[in-house]
Amino acid sequence: MNTDLNNIAHLCGTVESELKYSHDIFGESFYVFRLKVERLSGQADVLPITVSERLMHEEISEGQRLCVDGQVRSYNIVHENKSKLVLQLFAKEVYLAESGLPDENSIYLQGFVCKKPIYRVTPFSREITDLLLAVNRAYGKSDYIPCITWGRTARYAANLKIGDRVQLVGRFQSRAYQKQLPDGTALNKVAYEVSVSRLSTVRD
C-alpha cells in the first residue's frame, strides 16, 4: 500500500517570512518558512513549511508567490516536562505560482480515529467536533493530526469510535487564541489543525 496517498496537501500562497535553517538529517539540510494563504472569507492562514535544500532550485524569499505539494506532518516537542504536538507541512515539491493563480489550500487525509471525538456547541450555537487522526506513513511511522469538523459533519463525527477508519477533505489552518497563565495574564498563541469540509467512513 502506498502510504503517500493517505496524506496529500496542496498550498499556494505568499511567502510571509525569511527562510531559516532547521536541522540536518543524514547530511541533508532542512529549512522552514511561513506561507500566507488567503481564505475566501478574507481571513488568512499563516502556515509553517519545512523544505529540503534539494527542493530549493532558486532562493525562497519573502513576498514570493509559491505553490507547495507535500504532507501534513506532526512531531512532539518536550518543554518543561510537558509534551506538545506540533504540526507542519512537509514539502515534497515547491514551485513558483503561475501569474494570476488564486491562493489554494487543499488537504486529503485517510487515517484512524485514535481518541474519543469531542463534541461541543459554541456560545454562537455552532456545533463542533474535534478529532485526532492517526495517519500512517512509510517505515511504520504515523502522524497524529488534529481535525475540526462543523455543523452536520460535526454531528456525524461525534458518533465515530476509536479505531474507525475515515477519509476527509479540508484545509490546513492556523488559529490564534489566548492561553491564560497562572498569574492572570494572557499569552497569545497559534494552533494548527485541519478544518474538515467532507468526511466519510472507509469500509475494508
DSSP class per residue in 61-79? -TT-EEEEEEEEEEEEEEE
Residue 182 confidence (pLDDT): 83
Residue 97 confidence (pLDDT): 94
Residue 95 confidence (pLDDT): 94
Band (pLDDT 50/70/90 cuts) for residue 188 is confident
Residue 57 confidence (pLDDT): 75
Position with higher pLDDT, 167 vs 77: 167
- Mean residue pLDDT of the chain comes to 92
The pair phi, psi for residue 12, each rounded to 5°, is -135, 135
List of E strands, the chain:
7-15, 20-25, 28-38, 44-52, 65-79, 82-96, 104-113, 118-121, 127-136, 142-150, 165-180, 186-201
Band (pLDDT 50/70/90 cuts) for residue 178 is confident
What's the whole-number mean pLDDT along residues 173-185?
85
CA-to-CA distance for 93 and 112, rounded, in angstroms? 26
pLDDT in tens, 160-176: 999 999 999 999 999 88
What's the whole-number mean pLDDT along residues 42-65?
92
For the chain, what's the residue count?
204
Residue 159 confidence (pLDDT): 96
The whole-model pTM stands at 0.91
Quick check: 155 pLDDT over 90?
Answer: yes
Residue 58 confidence (pLDDT): 77
Top-confidence range, 44-53, 70-79, 83-92, 175-184: 44-53
Band (pLDDT 50/70/90 cuts) for residue 139 is confident
pLDDT in tens, 18-28: 999 999 999 99
Quick check: 82 pLDDT over 90?
Answer: no
Quick check: 137 pLDDT over 80?
Answer: yes
